[in-house]
Amino acid sequence: MTEGALVAGIDSSTQSTKVVLVRASDGVVIDQASAPHPPGTEVDPLFWWKALQQAGSGLLERAAAIGVGGQQHGMIAVDVAGAVVRPALLWNDLRSAPQIDTVVAHLGGPNACAGTIGSLPAASFTVTKLRWMAENEPGRAAATAAVALPHDWLTWMLAGGPGSGAELTTDAGDASGTGYYSPARREWLPEIAAWALGRAAGDAPALPRIAEPGQVVGRTASGAVLAPGTGDNMAAALGLGLEHGEVAVSIGTSGTVFCVSDVPSADPEGLIAGFADATGRYLPLVCTINASKVLAVTAELLGVGHEEFAELALASAPGAGGLTFLPYLDGERTPHRPQATGVIRGLSSTTSRSELARAAVEALLCSLADAVDALDVTPRRVLMIGGAARNPAVQQLAPAIFGMDVVVPAAAEYVALGAARQAAWALSGSAQPPHWPAAAAETFTATPAPDLRARYGALREATAEW
């Protein structure tokens, strides 16, 4: 690696493109920029490309290597000329929910499905979106010559795109969220992609070449090395430097809980997504639908801003005066209750605003603690990231409910940093990603509060049939 070399990491998320320019030797951020994406659950990928050009202007030209982290699962179908067949369907586009059962049945039921693709697919998975297109847009399905994920397509565009001779590439991490890849066997299952598009097994669309971790997959017009890129959760794990025994809890609009593992997962209950990571290991992941929105909705009901909401929550005693909140506002994925709504038990004429705020924070954390339990691991500590991880009430209450120390790393663009670390890896040509010093972090401790978890669990079970 050239002394003083800079590398760029890209986070192409649902809402925006973020680019960080990083010193390859130690991960120090030199510069960064961002550009917004249009709203919606289907988007012309050219908007992402324009956002990348805008955010990357003045940054990408200075990078010796580039890596792309992208939102998982999105479906980009292209024709024989490399043109996009239809707007990309994003992970949060749920129109393919009816196709979930069709996919699971085709793969032989829950046990066989989990054993084959490592997960029970959700509507976010690419395979359900392909099946939806075959059933609802057969002309577009027939015109599809290749299928890519968002990060695959952006890496390809950086390499020259249609007509350049550049090939579509991906990595095992992002591929493991498609539903036509085997994390255990580390290979595509093209016959499933063919079936999803309504074709015979021998007529599968072209799928990106799966690159090895840290491999160079191409170069930009200016000669910068291109790393394989990966999915956003895998990039976040790489950016955090997640180690065995650590569980990452990311609290955004939805919640994700994940850890690294040396063995693949295959959960027929559908709680654990059996993903691969970006380093050759595995990244079992559990997702909750309701996370920071639980705090936002409660704060709005109370008529307060984020800071006052946190102050209210911390002003109440543990247990919120007997108030217990089940925060399944928009249905829930962990546990699987798509039709559920929120429930409050213990409300009385003496319930205070502080108790309601406290109950919402405790509910959010109990829900995420359920997700940690679903991973079926015994962590030694929790790393908490995401927007709501900055909330003082969340920080101070978390260790009591998780029952262990909670580490909150300094706010940073961890997806983009993980993509940059992968770029430095590809640039170095070494067998392992570079060692970068851990981010500054604050550790929170508290006496465990199993009674709160027990009370929350009792309400969760009592409402199971609602």
SS3 214: coil
* Cβ pair 434, 421 in contact under 8 A: yes
Two tokens at 426?
A: 């590809």
CA–CA distance, 220 with 423 (Å, rounded to integer)? 13
Distance (Å, whole) CA 134 – CA 106: 15
Compute the distance between CA of residue 118 and CA of residue 162 in angstroms, rounded to an integer. 32
First to last CA, the chain: 59
Two structure tokens written together for 35: 């550009």
Strands, E assignment, 207-356: 209-210, 218-219, 225-226, 230-231, 246-251, 255-258, 272-276, 282-288, 324-326, 343-345
Smallest CA-to-CA distance from 55 within 72, 31, 39 is with 31
Q: Which residues pair with 12 in a beta bridge?
A: 17, 70
Cα distance between residue 197 and residue 202, in whole Å: 12
Of 359, 402, 384, the closest CA to residue 249 belongs to 384
Tell me, yes or no, if 267 is annotated catalytic. no
349 by DSSP, 3-state: which? coil
Considering only CA atoms, which of 403, 419, 375, 364 is closest in space to residue 251?
A: 364
Catalytic residue among 11, 171, 174, 232: 232
Sign of CA dihedral 183, 276, 335, 338: negative
Helical residues (DSSP H) of 203-352, grouped into ranges: 232-240, 292-302, 306-315
Check: CB of residue 147 under 8 Å from CB of residue 126.
Answer: yes
Q: Residue 110 has which token pair?
A: 């829950």
Contact indicator for 205, 197 with CB cutoff of 8 Å: yes
The bridge status of strand 282-288 relative to strand 255-258 is antiparallel
- Whole-angstrom distance, CA of residue 115 vs CA of residue 184: 8
Residue type, 35: A
Q: Is 262 exposed, middle or buried (0-12, 13-18, 19+ CB in 10 A)?
A: exposed
Residues labelled as active-site residues: 232
